[in-house]
Structure 1
Amino acid sequence: MPEGPSIVILREEAASFAGRKVLRVEGNARLIDVDRMRNQPVRAVCSWGKHFLIAFPTFALRVHFMLFGSYRIDERKPNANVRLSLGFAKGRELNFYACSLKYIEGPLDETYDWSADVMADAWNPRAARKKLSAQPDALVADALLDQSVFSGVGNIIKNEVLHRIRVHPESTVGALPSRKLGEMIKQAREYSFDFLEWKKAYVLRKHWQVHAKKTCPRDSTPLSYRKHLGRAGRRAFWCATCQTLYE
């Protein structure tokens, strides 16, 4: 599943479509009326966490890539059925595959809390702390994946942030010392920007410390692994030696 930084890359790559008119619409999307976008001008392309958004004058298209979604710009994915293809002048096109599509009515500001997006200029760590204080019994592994608190954080970022701050994923939010809670909030954003830099340089996997790894790079301890951890039921990798369990 693409995490927030990957959607930021898409937003940047698709920025040149702002101001262009959709001339052609095709694909196998069935849950929305794709013809609604035909002849509509793109006002802006933006993102909120894992959501890629194409804003038109009175509505927006939300693209969520789920687990296996992908996209291509100005080219087609070979041997794949396109979910949605938007064609523009001079042969330009945006192509989306295996994703969820939904229309957002009205201004995006009425739907999205930009302060929850860990990569947005409007990100508000104080608001994140307030939201976390309302769920003291939540596991930190679940809290980091809560998109209303940390929009854009996915499973890779979750695992790496908790290793970076030396916190066990089954620690509860309320049991974390105030300093550790602050570190978790800070690193959710900082690691996301590190992720973005590494992904752009095609070296992201080289920087993983625990995600999909077998040994802790700090103390050489074999990493613990669980296929389904917490309410979110996502994969977890952690070091039982250097990541403290707070409960």
Structure 2
Amino acid sequence: MPEGPTVKKWGTMAGQFLGRSVVTTGGNTKKVDLQMLQGLCFTDIQVHGKQMFMKFTTDPSAQTSIQVWLRYHFGMWGTLRVNELKSLSNSALYRARYIQDPKPRVVLYFGDEEFLAFYGCSVQQIEAPLIDEETDVLLDSFNVEKSTSFLRQEKPVCHLLLDQRQFAGVGNIVKNEALYSSRLHPMQLGSTLSSEKALELVEAVGDFAKKWVKDGTPYSPMRDLSIYCKKACPLGHKVVRDMLGHEEFARITYWCAWCQPMQPTAPSTEFAEEVQAETSGEKSSDTLLAEGSPKWPIVMLKETSPGSHLYA
């Protein structure tokens, strides 16, 4: 899933067409009448978390004023291409030889061979962006104090970090890297964290996300990851890989049983009891490392049904 730093870079790429008029449109979306954009000027772009907002208006000299905002959410596999169309990779072609090249959801043409192509995203027309700048981890206005308090709930931190209502832009890579940097077990209950430890985790989230924007590419993070998709942590310990999270929001999680041990907690709620039940039979990190194949249980957390874009 594209994360905040990636969408931020895509916003910068799309911004090169600001002030240009849409010549024609394409794409297979049925949610928006793209023809209404033809002749309108691309006048503003905003990125919040994993969402991109684009504004189109009529020329100031036009007799009738029109303003259109489009909201893009890139989902699990969405992407943006500039002046090029996406094609299947060689590995994908090998696995599925008869699948056609992917079809863009939206294409905005600004001139000959100058266009933006959106793939795999949801798009909708809105009145205007509704943005809480205090929740975007990439902004200077990100409310560290509020986010620190939010983390101290009786839910696992790996679940809390993916809540886009408070940590807009955080996805699986940012989550895993920040937890390792803070030496926290993914299933550690937020309520067991001291205010200092919760603050350390929040700052680790912001630091990594901003470093990704600075050093990563538009389609991948920087190369020097510590834990995500690694077989060993920077200290040489074997990395554990498992699916953690609530049902459809479960994500593959990477952590080091040695560097990120589960701290003792007294169960007082459903979440605490569930975590204790799932981890009570686990072996010590020393035993896990000695055996060479640490395996932690799959944990499916109970939660009321959230909105489709509330979690990463």
Q: Give the TM-score, by structure 1 length.
A: 0.90
Counterpart pick for 1:70 among 79, 86, 94: 79
1: CA distance, partners of 2:150 / 2:68: 29
Q: 1:149 is matched with which residue?
A: 166
Q: 2:14 is matched with which residue?
A: 14
Q: 1:52 is matched with which residue?
A: 52
1: CA distance, partners of 2:208 / 2:157: 16
Quote the offset at 1:206 in angstroms.
2.8
Asked whether 1:233 is paired with 2:264, we answer no
Any conservation in 2 of the 1:132–1:149 contact (CA below 8 Å)? no
2:241 partner letter? Y
Which blocks of at least 5 consecutive residues in structure 1 are unaligned?
A: none
Q: 2:108 is matched with which residue?
A: 86
1: CA distance, partners of 2:28 / 2:49: 25
1: CA distance, partners of 2:31 / 2:220: 37
Quote the offset at 1:37 in angstroms.
2.1
1: CA distance, partners of 2:161 / 2:16: 32
2: CA distance, partners of 1:56 / 1:141: 38
Any conservation in 1 of the 2:10–2:218 contact (CA below 8 Å)? no
2:71 partner letter? R
Quote the offset at 1:205 in angstroms.
5.5
Quote the offset at 1:130 in angstroms.
3.8
Q: 1:3 is matched with which residue?
A: 3
Kindly tell me: are residues 203 and 89 of structure 1, through their superposed partners in 2, closer, same or farther at Cα, counting changes over 3 Å? closer
2: CA distance, partners of 1:203 / 1:74: 19
Q: 1:97 is matched with which residue?
A: 119
Q: Give the TM-score, by structure 2 length.
A: 0.72
**Which deviations, in whole Å up to 9, do the C-alpha atoms of 1:131-175 show, x marking residues without a partner?**
334xx1121001111111111110011001000010000011111
SS in 1 for 2:75: coil
Q: 2:187 is matched with which residue?
A: 170
Please identify, of 18-27 and 138-147, the stretch whose mean Cα deviation from structure 2 is larger.
18-27
Quote the offset at 1:90 in angstroms.
5.0
1: CA distance, partners of 2:182 / 2:6: 23
Any conservation in 1 of the 2:183–2:260 contact (CA below 8 Å)? yes
Counterpart pick for 2:208 among 168, 183, 191: 191
Quote the offset at 1:201 in angstroms.
9.5
1:67 partner letter? M
SS in 2 for 1:36: helix
2: CA distance, partners of 1:36 / 1:117: 31
Kindly tell me: are residues 201 and 3 of structure 1, through their superposed partners in 2, closer, same or farther at Cα, counting changes over 3 Å? closer
**Which deviations, in whole Å up to 9, do the C-alpha atoms of 1:47-74 show, x marking residues without a partner?**
1111122123434211122122122112
1:29 partner letter? T
2:167 partner letter? F
Q: 2:300 is matched with which residue?
A: none
Kindly tell me: are residues 59 and 184 of structure 1, through their superposed partners in 2, closer, same or farther at Cα, counting changes over 3 Å? farther
Kindly tell me the number of residue pairs found equivalent between the two proteins: 240
Counterpart pick for 2:143 among 117, 124, 149: 124
Q: 1:112 is matched with which residue?
A: 131
Q: 1:61 is matched with which residue?
A: 70
1: CA distance, partners of 2:222 / 2:203: 22
Any conservation in 1 of the 2:151–2:157 contact (CA below 8 Å)? no
Which blocks of at least 5 consecutive residues in structure 2 are unaligned?
A: 58-66, 88-100, 266-312
